[in-house]
Amino acid sequence: MKKLFLLISLGFCSNFLLAQVDYVWSVGATSKPFFFTLLNKADDTDKRFKKVDEGQVSGHYYGINGNYHFYNNVYLGGGLGYSKQVLKSKYANIFLEEQAIGYGQWTNLSLNYIHLPFKIGYQLSANHLDFMGARFYLGGILSYNSSYFYEFTNYSTKTGTNEINFDKVSGYTTRTRNTHKGIGYDNEGEIDIIIENEITYPINKWNIGLQSGTDIYFIISQTVNVNIGIWYNYDFMRTESKDQASMTGHITRPADAYSNNQRIGLSVGLEWLIF
């Protein structure tokens, strides 16, 4: 009798759980515009330079994803994504050891990543809200830096002062992957020196971080959902390679003052349900 009761109970539970599953798989595409920061304590405490203009600090993430659903509430997900993040800033009145070194700088940093996200989520079924539902997720994200571009323009000071003249360029430098190129100008604006050499790749190729988010999804047909939400990502490993901090920040940044990527933004997606 005990065995028979156990078999009946298992059968009942199995039928109950299967009845809760409206669909097993879902696949989709997502677009995520975001703001990001290169978190760096040295920048918060360094009084040697003044940021004149924050400029652009933004990025965009594109991805495809797939989820496996349990019961109708819990799901596991993974995917593939690509992002580009851009930081542009202008600095002036640079001080080194309490002495003005008399130049300003405009910087432009671009980092491109390929991402492998993975997550576990909890979904409030759309059945409770007729045409919409909500879900929350937490997980990790493995990232590979596919390209790096950093350029900065140095400006001269006004004659007899330490005030920066942003109309007069004294030098221009670009760094991309393993190459450093620089051009220096004399007081007449003519090219004075050209430098080109190899550098150690300044960005960590691999990174791993935390991601979380919440979505509201809208049912537009039996098999298609549209979702919109917010998301957050923080990379645990340093953005720069060891002793390469100045490759993503101001040139006066200490070499060991490495940064961490932090991203926050919106997400918009389209999802297909597979029963």
Please say if the pLDDT value at position 10 is more than 50: no
Rounded CA separation 119/74 (Å): 11
DSSP-assigned letters across all residues of 140-186: EEEEEEEEEEEEEEEEEEPTTSS-EEEEEEEEEEEEETTEEEEEEE-
List, for residues 184-208, the tens digit of each pLDDT value. 887 777 888 888 888 888 899 999 9
Average pLDDT, the chain: 80
User: Residue 136's pLDDT is what?
Assistant: 94
Q: Over 80: is that where the pLDDT of 263 sits?
A: yes
Distance CA 57, CA 265 (A): 12
65: CB partners within 8 A, 6+ apart: 27, 28, 29, 30, 77, 78, 79, 80, 117, 269
Per-residue model confidence (pLDDT) at position 152: 83
In the chain, what are the domains?
21-98+110-147+205-274 (2.40.160.20)
DSSP label at residue 240: B
Tens of pLDDT, residues 213-243? 999 988 888 889 999 999 999 999 989 887 7
Q: Taking 80 as the threshold, does the pLDDT of residue 163 lie above it?
A: no
Distance, in Å, from the CA atom of 184 to the CA atom of 169, rounded to the nearest integer, reads: 9
Provide the pLDDT for residue 258.
Answer: 78
pLDDT tens profile 108-144: 889 999 999 999 999 886 554 567 889 999 999 999 9
Per-residue confidence band for 102, with pLDDT thresholds at 50, 70 and 90 = low
Q: How many CB atoms lie within 10 A of CB 110?
A: 16
- What pLDDT is stored for residue 6 in this prediction? 45
pTM, whole model, 2 decimals?
0.80
Residue 18 confidence (pLDDT) above 70: no
User: What percentage of the chain reaches a pLDDT higher than 70?
Assistant: 74
